[in-house]
Amino acid sequence: MKPRQTTPSASALPPKPRNLFPVWLAALLALLWLIVHDLEISFETLAYGVADMAEYFSRYSKPEFSELSRYLELMKITLATALWGTVFALVVAFFLAPLAARNLAPYPLAYRAARELLNFMRAMPDLLLALIFVAALGLGPLPGVLALGVHTAGFLGKFFAESLERVDKGVYEGVTSTGANFPQIVMYAGWPSIQREALGYVLYILDRNVRMASVLGMVGAGGIGLALHDTLRMFNYGQSAALIIVILVTILIIDYASAWLRRRLS
């Protein structure tokens, strides 16, 4: 038997690729330091402020539930706002998404228009939309519904369009080859293929809209947020605490419910 030869030159690895991670990390840290310096953020103030903050939060320590039934009524309005906002978004996305899917859109121009419209809706913050609609339509849940609907239609439309783009080309061809037209291809090959994903997205958006609807009330879009806004303005800490607890519990319940449903779906 021949002794095994070890030739160091043969086993030498090619030169190690340069790793630029430390450079990027250093640059990022430098940027963060510059920001602190530039904005004159002082960590000392934060340290001194902790005591003050503790005192402020302690004012919320006695929640006052005497008007609980009114709060629950308001929470119901907020939930209704979120639900209708989601339905509005779903209807808009249902019509726009197939046009915004590159592999389905019948005309390139329709594709561009649908895409840009969805981008625009997504780019408009719902808080800003709510302010605009409150100014135009007055106080109440309706501006909240529209604000949530327009903003999340942009999201849902994009999610749906991307799901439709991921469907196997053959499925579309199978239906196309029978002579089906664009709406028929969408209804028979598109939506059925993504129904489960789509339902998951809708639940996620509903979940998000409940959270957002509570905040939208603060700019006058009705529901529990409006009440919280009022009690905060009147320094009524007991009632504010009760309202915050109602909001938090509701959001938690919705969060768990939608997570459970989505798990059931997949």
Partner 1 sequence: MSIISIKSATKRFPNGFEAIKGITADIAAGSFTVILGPSGAGKSTLLRLMNGLETPTGGSIHITGETLGKSNLRKMRSCVGMVFQQFNLVERLSVVTNVLTGRLAHRSWLGSLFYLFRNEDMEIAQEALARVGLTDKAWNRADKLSGGQQQRVGIARALAQRPKVILADEPVASLDPVSSEEIMMLLREICDRDGITVVVNLHQVDLAKRFADRIIGMNSGRVVFDGTPAELSPLTLQAIYKRDEIKDDTNLNLALAYA
Q: What is the closest distance, in whole angstroms, from the C-beta atom of residue 170 to partner 1 in the complex?
A: 4
Which CB atom, from 138 or from 192, has the smaller least distance to partner 1? Answer: 192
Phi and psi at residue 136, to the nearest 5°: -85, -35
Burial profile 249-265: b = 16 or more Cβ within 10 angstroms, e = fewer: ebeeebeeebeeebeee
Under rule CB under 8 A, how many of the chain's residues touch partner 1? Answer: 22
Phi and psi at residue 63, to the nearest 5°: -60, 145
Q: Dihedral of the CA atoms 254, 260, 264, 266 (nearest 10)?
A: 90
Q: What is the closest distance, in whole angstroms, from the C-beta atom of residue 169 to partner 1 in the complex?
A: 9
Q: Which of 11, 45, 61, 177 binds partner 1 (CB under 8 A)?
A: 177
Which CB atom, from 116 or from 173, has the smaller least distance to partner 1? Answer: 173
Q: Which of 189, 203, 224, 228 binds partner 1 (CB under 8 A)?
A: 189
Q: What is the closest distance, in whole angstroms, from the C-beta atom of residue 108 to partner 1 in the complex?
A: 15
- Does residue 8 sit in helix, strand or coil? helix
Which CB atom, from 176 or from 236, has the smaller least distance to partner 1? Answer: 176
Q: Is residue 93 within the footprint of partner 1 (CB under 8 A)?
A: no
Give the C-alpha separation, 109 to 99, whole Å: 10
Looking at 43-51, 83-91, 186-194, 199-207, which segment touches partner 1 (CB under 8 A)?
186-194
Q: Is residue 188 within the footprint of partner 1 (CB under 8 A)?
A: yes
Q: Is residue 113 within the footprint of partner 1 (CB under 8 A)?
A: no
Give the C-alpha separation, 263 to 256, whole Å: 10
Q: Which of 5, 45, 181, 266 binds partner 1 (CB under 8 A)?
A: 181
Which CB atom, from 188 or from 204, has the smaller least distance to partner 1? Answer: 188
Q: Is residue 91 within the footprint of partner 1 (CB under 8 A)?
A: no
Give the C-alpha separation, 72 to 66, whole Å: 12
Q: Is residue 171 within the footprint of partner 1 (CB under 8 A)?
A: yes
Give the C-alpha separation, 90 to 203, whole Å: 11
Give the C-alpha separation, 204 to 191, whole Å: 18
Helices (H), the chain: 8-11, 21-39, 43-58, 68-100, 108-123, 126-137, 141-166, 169-176, 182-185, 191-216, 224-233, 237-265
Looking at 127-135, 157-165, 179-187, 232-240, which segment touches partner 1 (CB under 8 A)?
179-187
Q: What is the closest distance, in whole angstroms, from the C-beta atom of residue 141 to partner 1 in the complex?
A: 30
Give the C-alpha separation, 230 to 216, whole Å: 13
Q: Which of 183, 234, 248, 260 binds partner 1 (CB under 8 A)?
A: 183
What residues between 194 and 213 interact with partner 1 by CB under 8 A?
195-196
Q: Which of 174, 236, 238, 251 binds partner 1 (CB under 8 A)?
A: 174
Give the C-alpha separation, 232 to 38, whole Å: 33
Residues engaged in binding partner 1 (CB under 8 A): 168, 170-171, 173-184, 187-189, 192-193, 195-196
